């Protein structure tokens, strides 16, 4: 808890600095010979897409720690990451549609990449719905962890959908086994924005973790108070 409190401000500062530098670099990048200025959508769409997969992987690992190893912070870490992951996935879907319209001539196609990202968004929503629907945190943690682990099947499908199926979406340009197929004018702003998004995730996650711990402390304290009151009331009755 103390470490989280100490880390929060520096991570916030770094993420804001990275995003400012990344935005400056993104708007200084030259126009693409095919896409023109529309290529600038890439600097938010691609980092958001990377984050949606990264956060889900992080959520699954935390859920395994909570469910299998019974680590007390496992479910808290997973729950704290879920809303941020859903936000990044929503950004991916919306910016993808706004990039698709001028480039492909359509907002949406039911191809493997787009559909699997939409499924990922629904899994995030399902995960969050379980935490809202079940009041007991232990039971909610168990049920949501099972969904998170089963839902992880979708992550490699999202990543490799462009290789496994013939899709309108282009294949990977940066995370390839050989050198990235992206010019350094576009690669550097993209990497700085990705770092900014990554740091923003950790900044938000640290705050959400602390909030969840506050909530649990309050819950335990209030339950203790109710028990004490009930004991006193029972004692007076007899």
CA–CA distance, 160 with 162 (Å, rounded to integer): 5
Nearest to 95 by CA among 26, 161, 34, 7: 26
- Of 62 and 67, nearer to other proteins (C-beta) is 62
CA–CA distance, 206 with 71 (Å, rounded to integer): 17
Footprint of other proteins (CB under 8 A): 36-38, 40-41, 44-45, 48, 83-84, 87, 90-91, 94-95, 98-99, 101-102, 200, 204, 207-208, 210-211, 214-215, 217-218, 221
CB of 63 to other proteins, least distance (A): 20
Q: What is the DSSP string of 146-206?
A: HHHHHHTTHHHHHHHHHHHS--SS---SSS-SSS-SS-HHHHHHHHHHHHHHHHHHHHHHH
- Of 46 and 67, nearer to other proteins (C-beta) is 46
- Of 176 and 215, nearer to other proteins (C-beta) is 215
CB of 162 to other proteins, least distance (A): 21
CB of 207 to other proteins, least distance (A): 5
- Of 90 and 149, nearer to other proteins (C-beta) is 90
Tally of residues, the chain: 238
CB of 216 to other proteins, least distance (A): 10
Take residue 131 and report the two structure tokens written for it. 């935490």
């Amino acid at each position: 808890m103390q470490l989280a409190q100490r880390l929060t401000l520096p991570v916030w500062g770094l993420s804001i600095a990275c995003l400012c530098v990344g935005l400056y670099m993104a708007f200084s990048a030259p126009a693409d010979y095919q896409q023109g200025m529309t290529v600038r959508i890439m600097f938010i769409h691609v980092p958001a897409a990377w984050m949606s997969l990264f956060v889900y992987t992080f959520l699954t690992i935390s859920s395994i720690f909570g469910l299998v190893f019974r680590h007390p912070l496992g479910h808290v870490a997973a729950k704290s990451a879920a809303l941020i992951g859903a936000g990044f996935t929503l950004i991916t879907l919306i910016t993808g549609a706004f990039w698709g319209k001028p480039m492909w001539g359509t907002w949406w196609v039911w191809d493997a990449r787009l559909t699997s990202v939409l499924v990922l968004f629904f899994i995030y929503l399902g995960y969050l719905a379980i935490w809202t629907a079940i009041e007991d945190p232990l039971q909610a943690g168990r049920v949501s962890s099972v969904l998170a682990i089963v839902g992880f099947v979708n992550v490699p499908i999202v990543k490799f959908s462009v290789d496994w199926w013939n899709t309108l979406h282009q294949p990977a340009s940066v995370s390839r086994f050989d050198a990235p197929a992206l010019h350094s004018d576009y690669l550097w702003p993209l990497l700085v924005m990705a770092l900014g998004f990554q740091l923003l995730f950790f900044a938000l996650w640290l705050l959400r973790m602390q909030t969840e711990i506050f909530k649990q402390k309050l819950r335990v304290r209030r339950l203790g108070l109710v028990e004490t009151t009930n004991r006193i009331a029972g004692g007076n009755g007899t």
